[in-house]
Structure 1
Amino acid sequence: MSGGRVLQRVELFERIRRDRRLENASVRSLAKRYGVHRRVVRQALESALPPARKTIEVRRSVLDQGKDWIDEMLRADLTAPPKQRHTNKRIMDRLRDEHGFSVAYSTLNDYLRVRRPQIREEADRARMLTEGMVPQFHRPGEEAEVDFAEVWVRVDGKPLACQLFTLRLSYSGKAVHRVFSTSGQEAFMQGHVDAFRILGGVPTRHIRYDNLKPAVSQVCFGRSRVESQRWVAFRSHYGFDAFYCRPGVEGAHEKGGVEHEGGRFRRSHLVPVPEVDTLAELNEKIEQIEIAEDARHIDNRPTSVGFDFDYEAPLLAPLPFEDFDIGLTLTPKVDKTSRITVRQNKYSVPARFIGTNVRVPLRADEVWVFERNQLVVRHPRLAGRYGFRDLLDHYLEILRHKPGALEHSTGLAAARESGQFTATHDAFWAAAIESRGRSEGTRALIEVLLLHRRLPDEAVVAGMKAVLEAGSVSPDLVAIEARKALAAAGGPPPVVIAPQATAATVAAEPDTAEPEPESAQVISLPQRRPVLPPDSRPEPSLAAYGQLLSIQPKGSA
């Protein structure tokens, strides 16, 4: 040995053979020189390769006969509920009772301590093999993916759990996002319509979905589904097929592009929680974000999303000439509280419709109420259940007869919260109550509130301020001052009623008469009616009525 380094067996054999070849050293001297047994020297002289080591015979364990049974129990535990898996004692009992095999408890524990992690690792390796993914190639213009993701939005100061609709083209990665208050069928279809409009076409092959309730009524075996009839009509109208992924986590990778896209967009652009007045305002901002994201690169591609989409867009199928009517038409009855119930939420309508049925096209983000073909009111659609949305204007006719109900009404509370019922309204109300009493003062306020139907809110508020400064609470004066304020702001001039000139007055007045000053003009509160031409028919005869008066009743003197 040299330098105190322990020689490898092959090197030892090489040096022994070299010394024997050069010095013709004896076996004894070589053994003494290298500190090995003479048997090792003889092995080196016989072959340059050391002989293979003898395998050590492992003593058979008493568990060898039962290891297959134990492993079967451990593999069954992988899919069993956590609280119903085998304990060490339970395994020992089953070995004894079911297989007649007895083993020491300590011996079984030593085996299970090593074997349990091995069984779990073997199952993980097998699952990774079966769940491995094969990279796919998507042809341009053929495929897309759709999914919903939950997102929180602060709408008008209130937190609201909403749904983020995402449609993503598989080739270019171009995605369209929309936020709705619900994931119902109306929102599902509205998201498709908006996406097709922005993309300028429809995928020619299919769109991938999971088992969304707006599309699927029943999940059958394999990939077969029972689709809802409106969804089938929608697909037929736009001309595309649906590809349904396997249920649960197993099918998530089949549309992994949109699964990742929904989360990425939420983290990138909806954090912190956006604060908007309406969801329509948020969707307008999202549309601008999507335009800016055309410069984004996916998975280190050399080309951007916008570049790939420019190539893909002409290959999409063209849109149909007419849009599909996605609104679900309902005909609810207006109850005595002047409300209709739509999807377990209540919305107010004008009081004149109490007891009648109205037509309601239910949309993704709005509830429209029609009287025949005339739109009566549009409400933002409420999320969840058992909510309500009341407008104070719908109850004014009822409040004329029940003024005491105004103070604690839900419509007044909503008007205060939205800022439509201002501090000026409160001041006018208080002054009217002080001047006329609670009931009549409230009725005076209601007459002022009715002015909002035909005059701008700013003009009515200005009219109330002017009347209060003059020390009056007359609704008629509020209307006069509101029209003056509207005319001063550049609105339509107030209606002026001039005294009608007759033929006698025209003949009596000379042509040089000076016109009356403008201050003598009178402002009319109601709309001026047109002047009708004089009636040329003869006056009716009253002879028949005279005969009736000449008849005396029986028993009279």
Structure 2
Amino acid sequence: MGVEGLIGYFRRNRFVPVPEVSSLAELNEMVEQWDRQDDARRIGSRPKTVAEYFALEQPLLMPLPEEPFETGRLFTPRVDRYGQIPVRTNRYSVTIRLIGKRVRVVLHASHLVVYDQNVEVARHGRLIAKGAVRLDLDHYLEVLVRKPGAFPGSTALEQARSAGRFTPVHDAWWDQARKIHGERDGPRALIEVLLLGRYLPHEHVVAGLAAALRAGAMTADAVALEARKAAQAETEPAPAAERLVSGEPSATVTSLHEWRLAHLPADTRPLPSVAPMTNCSDVVAPAAATTVREKHSDPAPPASLDRAGRRRRHRQRQSASAAAVDSQRVLRHRRPGDEGPDDLLGLPR
């Protein structure tokens, strides 16, 4: 059977009736599966199967080229002010940093790829209808984080919901974030979470959102932490499940304080005793009483202050004696008829 005959055989046996698929990629997967099934078929009365004959023929074939043959059609549109490019009769979004630049687009049968200087910057499924627009929410996150009020009613958000990229878990986390952070900072927190999808897988971000929602942590940092935990749990084996299967006891959580106490060296010092302190009451009490009396009694003045006080009192007595002598002398020498302060006050002489 030649190549043309095999194509007819394959079409009559696999494409009748015409299979119903949702995309060209799904149809290609079905064709590959039918190819693997056809390897076990024998043609007529030949002793070997199709796969065995191909194994004998494969070393005689020339190797495939190192670079794949490009079958797509090339376009070089310019990015408009909305971050979109026209391809045929439809429009597709690219990252907003390319606004005003010319990019290279390779259009395939089921998808298209956008390049900026040989670097892939966007990939979209090809639109069949005319005049349609396909927007990727990730391309507009830098603008929306500065203008979070435009996020709820954006067309990119509606298309993300329709494509299943914006899940009900996103909506539930967003509702709680708006209650806690408000109508302005709530959408901004969600946009920061969506930015995590640029370096974390989508399923891990969704798992992080669900874990943060259960914990009541409405921040992008908490979601990133939970997403990394989900990625780590996926890559590492589950030791607890293996222990349950093997019958080993499950591990217990030990606090750091208990671990430190368990690893301290043994203390060989003897316990303290109060025996030497039993007869100290008779010795301590008089000393304490003396201390209390000394504390409340007036301290003795220094000798220098005592001598100065005696001199001052001696001078005061001398001044009083001299004043008394002068007053007696005045009274003896006063003539009759003289009036002094005592007479004016009515005092006896």
TM-score band, normalised by the shorter chain?
0.5 to 0.7
Question: Aligned pairs, how many?
Answer: 232
> Which protein has greater RCO, CA pairs closer than 8 Å, 6+ apart?
1
Residue 140 of structure 2: which of 386, 392, 395 is its match? Answer: 395
CA distance in 2, matches of 1:517, 1:335: 59
- The equivalences for 1:213-362 within 5 A come to 261=8, 265=11, 268-269=14-15, 271=17, 273-276=19-22, 278-290=23-35, 292=37, 321=65, 324-362=69-107
Q: TM-score, normalised by structure 1?
A: 0.36
In the alignment, structure 1 residue 174 sits paired with structure 2 residue 6: yes
Q: Give the letter for the 1:174 counterpart.
A: L
Deviations 1:117-165 (A, max 9, x none): xxxxxxxxxxxxxxxxxxxxxxx97xxxxxxxxxxxxxxxxxxxxxxxx
- Asked whether the equivalents of residues 174 and 306 of structure 1 are also in contact (C-alpha less than 8 Å), the reply is no
2:86 is paired with a residue whose SS is strand
Structure 1 counterpart of 2:162: 417
Structure 2 counterpart of 1:83: none
CA distance in 1, matches of 2:198, 2:155: 20
Q: Evaluate the alpha carbon distance shift between residue 400 and residue 270 of structure 1 in structure 2; reply closer, same or farther with a 3 A threshold.
A: farther
Deviations 1:204-251 (A, max 9, x none): xxxxxxxxxxxxxxxxxxxxxxxxxxxxxxxxxxxxxxxxxxxxxxxx
CA distance in 2, matches of 1:456, 1:291: 31
Q: Percent identity?
A: 43
1:333 is paired with a residue whose SS is coil
Q: Give RMSD over aligned pairs.
A: 3.7
Shift of residue 472, structure 1, vs aligned partner: 3.5
Structure 2 counterpart of 1:465: 210
Shift of residue 465, structure 1, vs aligned partner: 2.8
2:235 is paired with a residue whose SS is coil
Residue 368 of structure 1: which of 113, 130, 145 is its match? Answer: 113
Q: Evaluate the alpha carbon distance shift between residue 274 and residue 296 of structure 1 in structure 2; reply closer, same or farther with a 3 A threshold.
A: farther
Q: TM-score, normalised by structure 2?
A: 0.56
In the alignment, structure 1 residue 479 sits paired with structure 2 residue 209: no
Shift of residue 455, structure 1, vs aligned partner: 1.9
Structure 2 counterpart of 1:381: 126
Shift of residue 283, structure 1, vs aligned partner: 1.1
CA distance in 2, matches of 1:443, 1:433: 10
More helix by share: 2
Structure 1 stretches lacking a partner, 5+ long: 1-139, 142-167, 176-260, 492-515, 519-557
1:375 is paired with a residue whose SS is strand
Structure 2 counterpart of 1:437: 182
CA distance in 1, matches of 2:184, 2:127: 34
Shift of residue 448, structure 1, vs aligned partner: 0.9
Q: Evaluate the alpha carbon distance shift between residue 327 and residue 437 of structure 1 in structure 2; reply closer, same or farther with a 3 A threshold.
A: same
Shift of residue 291, structure 1, vs aligned partner: 5.7
2:122 is paired with a residue whose SS is strand
Structure 1 counterpart of 2:324: none
Q: Give the letter for the 1:269 counterpart.
A: F
Q: Evaluate the alpha carbon distance shift between residue 174 and residue 423 of structure 1 in structure 2; reply closer, same or farther with a 3 A threshold.
A: same
2:114 is paired with a residue whose SS is strand
Compare CA radii of gyration and give the structure with the larger one: 2
CA distance in 1, matches of 2:129, 2:12: 22
CA distance in 2, matches of 1:444, 1:466: 16
1:275 is paired with a residue whose SS is coil
Structure 2 counterpart of 1:496: none
Shift of residue 335, structure 1, vs aligned partner: 1.6
